[in-house]
Chain A
Amino acid sequence: MKPERWEQIERLYYAARERDPELRASFLDQTCAGDEMLRGEVESLLASDEQAGDFLNTPAYKIATEEIAEEQARSLVGRQLGHYRLLSQLGAGGMGEVYLAARADDQYRKQVAIKLVKRGMDTDNILRRFRHERQILAALDHPNIARLLDGGVSEDGLPYFVMEYIAGAPITEYCDSHQLSTDARLELFRQVCAAVHYAHQNLVVHRDLKPGNILVTEEGAPRLLDFGIAKVFNPELASPTLDLTAPEMRLMTPEYASPEQVRGEPITTASDIYSLGIVLYELLTGHHPYRTRNLSPSEIIRIVCEKDPEKPSDSIADCGLRIADSKSRWPLISRFKTRMRFFTRNPQSLRGDLDNIVLMALRKEPERRYGSVTQFSEDIRRHLEGLPVIARKDTLGYRSAKFLQRHKAGVAATALFLTLVIGFIASLAVKSAQVTRERDNNRRLLYVAQMNLAGQAWETNNIVRMEELLNSQLPEPGREDLRGFEWYLLWRLGHSHLLTIQHKSQVTFVTFSPDGKKLATGSDENTVKLWDAATGHEIVTLKGHVGWVLSGAFSPDGRRFATGSADLTAKLWDVETGQELCTLNGHGDEVMSVAFSQDGKRLATGSFDHTAKLWDVATCHEIFTIKGHGGRIWSAAISPDGKKLATGSEDRTVKLWDAVTGQEIFTLKGHGDEVLSVAFSPDGKRLASGSGGGIVKLWDVATSRELVTLKGHGDAVNSVAFSPDGKRLSSGSRDNTVKLWDAATGQEIVTLKGHGSQVNSVAFSPDGKRLASGSSDHTTKLWDLAKGQEPSTFNRHGAGLLSVAFSPNWKKLAAGYENHMAKLCDAATGEELVTLKGHTDWVVTVSFSPDGQRLATGSYDHTAKLWDATTGQEIVTLKRHGDKVTSVAFSPDGLRLATGSYDHTAKLWDVATGHEIVTLKGHGAEIGSMAFSPDGKRLATGSYDHTAKLWDVATGQELFTFKGHTGQVYALAFSPDGKRLAVGSTDRTVMLWDVTNGKELAILRGHAGYIGAVAFSPDGKRLATGSRDLTAKLWDLVTGQELVTLRGHSGQVMTVAFSPDGRTLATAGYDGLVKLWRAATEQEVLARGKQ
């Protein structure tokens, strides 16, 4: 364009634009004078101006930096999920992201792929379904199926799935790049079929088969990804109107979805056959049978449901045309070309059988496709071997329209129901058996669901979520209060701290004054606040910084306060008046830490500018700068004698410096991540350092030797602090928890949960009794260290603990051991009172008499013994069993003792005389458990013959046999009203029976190992179970649903017991631990509410 022309356009544009829009046309008529080109230019520019809207109004850098920030916020590379460290991002999609990851603890070198679900997805439901499915999926063990290894929830509450990492290419790309022949493609495809068939046999339908899910490794082995995952995301909802735009629905890949799938109808193995048919179509022809790109959801549904696919052999002919079309998608062209070469070599190979085979798999009606994947695969084999195939041309009589009609009439193939989730059916069965009033039941089911989520939130340190869930179940006026033991238990777990100080912003650091009376906290509002450490009342605010205050320290005399800030300065303050004394200028980047020397004369600062500086407190002048780190300095500490300075840096090292000369003494190497925090022990002999990888290390300062590594945090350790006596170490982490460690052994003492976001700082009170923690959740919390851990745990019993019982008043605890002894202990402290010696083999069962005066023990030495529960004196030995004694139980009146044995019998004994009264015979195998009914008239026995029996105590007559378990019965208990019996078995279920009529009330499923203990709560509303799966669970007996899972044992949970007031649940495990799970009282809850 000539400059003159452009000037002309420009002039006219400005002039026209100054006129009213309706006058512009006549203005241009005059000025352009027939020059239509000119007029067109100006008019189109004016029109463009009108349409431009916000075009270019947001500066580019703003968009770009937001994008960078978003990208970085999204990217989790380098972070840890569960046991895995994310190494790199493999890809991202509508549902979430896929990362390459490896075990963080290097336990296995193997790399895995982790799928992290995107925020905004229906995470709660995904998790719930995942828990339902994971066992089934984890059990899929086939060389051509990528294994699902694990799953969990990230710190941010997002579900993730860990799977085997497969390096390979989608099957279509693999076949093209290796230029496989048709026969080779078919052989490969048959291997895929074999894997899908294996999954179908295990009742798992893939639901989302497509080339991207079928990878082929360099060795040529196909591996199938994501088996059953689609289900976790996309529940079966037999909704007639399917919203393809709903977030869950978008996960489906419509190009490979069957007609029943896009319609939202039940999905069966036939749906996978259809998807495989599409894949085969693509493998043979190089393209998809339908063109669905850029079509609306309704159009896709129509095409998938109604349009008959072209014969594969015919469709190849069009290929040339398609290439001509695809100019705009240039990257695809070369792929098509490769395929074209291949397909033109094999023009005839598809005619006939292969056409029929593919089209049979692609039939609209699920029941008219191949009956199984094996049949499909076998037909391909027959084709390869030149044998006749099953597949025939589709006849005109079967049109899609007819299928639609029939479906509307309600014909449904029974096969459709095969794949409905077992759990779903079971829950429905329990529901329908017990629905009295549906609305109440729905409320109850919601309560159950919320408690499960609350338990999950607790485990993932998501305390904010847990509180929300608990609060959602506070009783409404006029409605039944559904809360039970689990609610009060979780509430107490979440409120184990003494005091919460609420801030308006994130707490960057927290520190006690030397006299312990004040607490200082820093904020991202550029201020420091001083608080009364006893009451949490604010005393004064230090204002002056113009950036976040990142660090703070009291001078040893408590009169001054030092701060380090993101404004690149440090400041000194007068504590009494809150006045700023001076500003320490010199750092070139944020001042991340400040520390006073013990004499208060010097201040050390560590900065992101890679240096630390020492300052003269009196003059506010810099003494010297310490250089040597190859990265930002996150933390600095001065040794108590003032002679050494320690710094922790981004360069993954800790350096020790001479605090007088500034010379480097040595470098402590060993951390695999940036060192975020350092602290000297009070005696100056040890140094603790916390890293970005969640590891804390203890070092010997004199020798630079690494003493011990403390593992346990799931994310970066932001802060470490020694207790004033040097015996304990505390750490605050990005995993939202504070941990307390034994500083000598490195053993974890307790994990303090309660913060809703990362813990930035921890500090001990000078008396060592309290701990303060500051968090990004806008709170500072004070913890009473004397109160200890929740649940409180005794570890005095050691290995070989076999059995535990509590005395009726819960003052004493009895324990039986592998070393042939039993012990009586204080139930509150676990302290040993007396040792009972006499048995000559394992003591596998213990039980107190109802008055608490006697203890009964049963042993593998074939005897039971009665003891004085106060003195520990043996009273009598009961020796008439012919094999190991497995269980003992006192009658409620205390007059009789029942014993069960491997000799298949139970015996009743007179407690006063030690004489046998009667032998109960009838079980076909060993007896493993026993219980008296509360009225003492009945005895229930559980046997390895898979049954439980009910006996009349007075006559010794067998009354009833409870049959139903498919495994040995290991535990049983009567409900407090005596009407129900709970029976736990090696089949991993508990069956609940109505004792009055022998009817089955419910089956409780959820444990992953056999059930070795059951106990009713005193109010009869809850059941506690202990299992080989290392957990205890609480169940709601109205709905039969699991409420909460209690973890912490590392051995089978062999005993569960409620205290008489129903406020404490005890669990004991083969790990030697006894844990007391205490529920809060209503008063405690109300008191907190007021505070």
Chain B
Amino acid sequence: MKPPSTHEVTQLLLAWSDGDQTALEELTPLVYAELRRLAERHMRRERAGHPLQTTALVNEAYVRLVDLRQVRWQNRAHFFGMAAQLMRHILVDFARARLRAERGGFAQQVSLDEAAMVAKGRSAEFIALDDALQSLAEIDQRKSRIVELRYFGGLTVEEIAEVLQISPRTVMREWNLARAWLHRELNRRESE
């Protein structure tokens, strides 16, 4: 498959930010494929022991995918907000796909040790968190967004403050509460 052009991706992002949900469905596989491609490239080089720098990786993904010059973002913050939302969507989608793949039987000749499936734990965590985050949004939209921006988007406190037009101190405080709430929520769900 030919990698998407930056133009294509930018158009889709713009459409999505204008409220076109089908654009998101088209974006997701493109962005995910790009993430995979980058991860693969980095791994190729990594064989001789050069550690993977994931931050660089994701920044690279954004930069490669989106032609910033073309984008008439309201501001930089708006872009980051969209990016975080996109990333959440993609990662959770990916986790769901992965869980499905694992549940969908792999009976053939796997007798080594079927029990050991570490990755499954991670995927399930992502999905549970996504659910809990939705519940949080029902109670408190802003706190849910703070978590989204910070956890899924990798934004700093200052950047979040800029996106949400609130003070960094408020971001910190609300992040703390949101984190405690989510932690409690996930524990409750697990013990049910």
Q: Does B78 contact A (CB under 8 A)?
A: no
Tally A residues with Cβ within 8 Å of B.
Answer: 71
Shortest beta-carbon distance, A114 to chain B, in Å? 10
A50-76 interface (Cβ within 8 A of B): 51-52, 55-56, 59-69, 71-73
In the complex, the answer to whether A55 meets B150 with C-beta atoms within 8 Å is no
Q: When the two chains form the complex, which single residue of B154, B180, B181 contacts A59, counting CB atoms closer than 8 Å?
A: B154
Contact with A along B99-122 (1 / 0, CB 8 A): 000010011111111111101001
**Complex interface: stretch among B11-19, B20-28, B87-95, B160-168:** B87-95
Interface-lining segment among A164-172, A764-772, A1000-1008: A164-172
CB distance from A607 to the nearest CB of B (A): 13
Q: Within 8 Å of chain B (Cβ to Cβ): is A776?
A: yes
Does A822 sit within 8 A of B, measured CB to CB?
A: no
> Residues of A contacting B151 with CB < 8 Å?
56, 59-60
Establish whether residues A93 and B116, one from each chain, have CB atoms under 8 Å apart when the complex forms.
yes
**Docked complex Cα distance between A370 and B80 (Å):** 70
B43 touches A167 (CB 8 A): no
Q: Is the CB of B112 within 8 A of A6?
A: no
Given contacts A6-B140, A758-B47, contact A65 B54 (CB under 8 A): yes
Q: Does B72 lie at the interface of the complex (its beta carbon under 8 Å from any beta carbon of A)?
A: no
Tell me whether A10 is interfacial, beta carbon within 8 Å. yes
- Tell me if B157 counts as interface (CB < 8 A to partner A): no
Please indicate the chain A residues that have their CB under 8 angstroms from the CB of B107 in the complex.
168-170, 173, 212, 215
Q: Given A14-B173, A61-B91, A69-B52: A96 and B112 within 8 A (CB)?
A: yes
Question: With A63-B122, A71-B119 known to touch, is A93 a contact of B114 (CB < 8 Å)?
Answer: yes
Known A168-B108, A776-B47; judge A251-B39 contact (CB<8 A).
no
Task: Please measure, in the bound complex, the distance between the C-alpha atom of A505 and the C-alpha atom of B47, giving whole angstroms.
Answer: 12
Q: Is A1064 an interface residue (CB 8 A)?
A: no
Given A63-B122, A68-B36, A69-B52, also A45-B2 (CB < 8 A): no
A72 near B43: Cβ-Cβ < 8 Å: yes
| CA gap between A61 and B89 in the complex, in Å | 11
Contact of A210 with B111 in the complex, beta carbons under 8 Å: yes
Min C-beta distance of B79 to chain A, whole Å:
16
Q: Which of B36, B52, B91, B184 contacts A60 (CB 8 A)?
A: B91
Supposing A6-B139, A62-B54, A776-B47 touch, asked if A167 and B154 sit within 8 A by C-beta, the answer is: no
Contacts of A6 in B (CB 8 A): 139-140
With A90-B108, A91-B110 known as contacts, the answer to whether A524 contacts B45 (CB < 8 A) is yes
Given contacts A49-B180, A68-B35, A72-B39, contact A91 B109 (CB under 8 A): yes
Task: Specify which chain B residues have a CB less than 8 angstroms from the CB of A208 in the assembled complex.
Answer: 111
- Report how far A71 CA is from B97 CA in the complex, Å: 14
The answer to whether A61 and B177 touch across the interface, beta carbons within 8 angstroms, is: no
Is there an interface contact between A225 and B109, defined as CB atoms closer than 8 Å? yes
Enumerate chain A residues within 8 angstroms of B39, measured Cβ to Cβ: 65, 68-69, 72
Contacts of A52 in B (CB 8 A): 179-180, 183
Chain A residues near B52: list those with CB within 8 A. 65-66, 69
Shortest Cβ distance from residue A967 to the other chain B in the assembled complex, whole angstroms: 39
Pick from B46, B58, B113, B187: contact of A65, CB below 8 A: B58
Indicate whether A91 sits within 8 Å of B108 (C-beta atoms), given known contacts A46-B180, A55-B179. yes
Chain B residues with Cβ under 8 A from A65's Cβ? 35, 38-39, 52, 54, 57-58
Q: Is the beta-carbon distance between B181 and A48 smaller than 8 angstroms?
A: yes
Known: A60-B151, A90-B110, A94-B112. A49 touches B176 (CB 8 A): yes
Out of B48, B50, B58, B106, which one reaches A91, CB within 8 Å?
B106
Cβ-defined contact, B112 with A98, below 8 A: yes
Q: How far is the CA of A685 from the CA of B192 in the complex (A)?
A: 75
Contact A60 B152, beta carbon cutoff 8 Å: yes
Q: Please, which residue of chain A has its CB at the minimum distance from the CB of B130?
A: A60
A73's nearest neighbour on chain B, judged by CB, is B43
Overall SS of chain B's interface: helix
The residues of A that contact B181 with a CB separation of less than 8 Å are: 45, 48
| Chain A residues positioned under 8 Å from B116 (CB to CB) | 92-94
Check if B147 is an interface residue, CB within 8 A of chain A.
yes
Task: Give which listed residue, B55, B106, B111, B154, contacts A225 with CB less than 8 A.
Answer: B111
Chain B residues near A225: list those with CB within 8 A: 109, 111
Option from A67, A72, A215, A776 in Cβ contact (under 8 Å) with B48: A776
Query: Which residues of chain B are within 8 angstroms of A66 by Cβ–Cβ distance?
Result: 52, 54
Do residues A60 and B112 form an inter-chain contact, with CB atoms below 8 A?
no
Kindly state whether residue B40 has any CB partner on chain A within 8 Å: yes
Task: Pick the most buried of A61, A92, A210: most chain B CB atoms within 10 A of its CB.
Answer: A61
Q: Which residue of B lies closest to A250 (CB)?
A: B113
CB of A899 closer than 8 Å to a CB of B: no
Cβ of B99 to closest chain A Cβ, rounded Å: 12
Partner of B108, one of A59, A167, A226: A167
In the bound complex, residues from chain A placing their C-beta under 8 Å from that of B109 are 90-91, 98, 113, 163, 165-166, 215, 225
A960→B38 CA distance, assembly (Å):
75
* B172–chain A nearest beta-carbon distance, Å: 11
Report if A251-B46 is in contact (Cβ < 8 Å); known contacts: A13-B177, A62-B55: no
**Least distance between A251 CB and chain B CB atoms (Å):** 6
Binary contact readout A201-223 vs B (1 if CB under 8 angstroms, 0 otherwise): 00000001010110100000000
User: CB distance A45 to B106 under 8 Å?
Assistant: no
- A215 CB to nearest chain B CB (Å): 7
A153-175 interface code vs B (CB 8 A; 1 in, 0 out):
00000000001011111100100
CA distance A163 to B111 in the complex (A): 13
Known pairs A1-B139, A757-B48; A61 contacts B54 (CB<8 A): yes
Residue in chain B with minimal CB distance to A525: B50
Question: Does B96 have its Cβ within 8 Å of any Cβ on chain A?
Answer: no
Docked complex Cα distance between A96 and B111 (Å): 10
Give, as a whole number of angstroms, the nearest-CB distance from B150 to chain A: 7
Chain A residue nearest in CB terms to B126:
A60
Q: Are A59 and B150 in contact (CB under 8 A)?
A: yes
Which residues 37-72 in B have Cβ within 8 Å of A in the complex?
38-40, 42-43, 45-48, 50, 52, 54-55, 57-58
In the complex, whether A506 has a CB less than 8 A from a CB of chain B is: yes
Which residues of the partner chain A approach B88 to less than 8 Å between Cβ atoms? 60
Q: Confirm or deny: A21 has a beta carbon within 8 angstroms of a beta carbon on chain B.
A: no
Q: In residues 163-206 of chain A, which contact B (Cβ within 8 Å)?
A: 163, 165-170, 173
Inside 8 A of B9's CB, which chain A residues have their CB?
none
Encode contact with B along A70-100: 1 for CB under 8 Å, 0 otherwise.
Answer: 0111000000000000000011111110101
A331 within 8 A of B: yes
- Cα–Cα, bound, A506→B46 (Å): 10
Task: Give, as a whole number of angstroms, the nearest-CB distance from A192 to chain B.
Answer: 14
B131 to chain A, nearest CB (A): 14
Q: Which residues of B contact A67 (CB under 8 A)?
A: 119, 122
The winner among B55, B107, B139 for most chain A CB atoms within 10 A is B107
Complex alpha-carbon distance, A494 and B181, angstroms: 61
Would you call B182 and A56 a contact (CB within 8 A)? yes
Is the C-beta of A735 less than 8 angstroms from some C-beta in chain B? no
Which chain B residue has the least Cβ–Cβ distance from A6? Answer: B139
| Min CB gap A782→B, angstroms | 20
- A1-46 contacts to B, CB under 8 A, are 1, 6, 10, 13-14, 17, 44-46
Closest residue of chain B to A173, judged by CB? B107
Q: In the assembled complex, how far is the CB of residue A195 from the closest CB belonging to chain B, in whole angstroms?
A: 15
A73 to B103 Cα, complex, angstroms: 22
Q: Which residues of A are found within 8 Å of B115, using beta-carbon distances?
A: 93-94
**Bound state CA distance, A165 and B173, in angstroms?**
58
Question: Which of A1, A68, A90, A208: most chain B CB closer than 10 A?
Answer: A68
**Within 8 Å CB of A63, what residues of B?**
122
B-side contacts of A776, CB under 8 Å: 47-48
A-B contact sample (7 more), CB < 8 A, given A49-B177, A94-B112, A777-B48 = A10-B177, A48-B183, A48-B184, A56-B179, A59-B150, A65-B54, A73-B43
Closest CB pairs A-B (n = 9): A91-B110, A93-B112, A94-B113, A93-B113, A49-B180, A48-B184, A94-B116, A212-B111, A59-B154
Task: Give 11 CB contacts A-B under 8 Å.
Answer: A48-B183, A59-B151, A60-B87, A60-B152, A64-B91, A92-B116, A94-B115, A210-B111, A505-B48, A506-B50, A630-B2
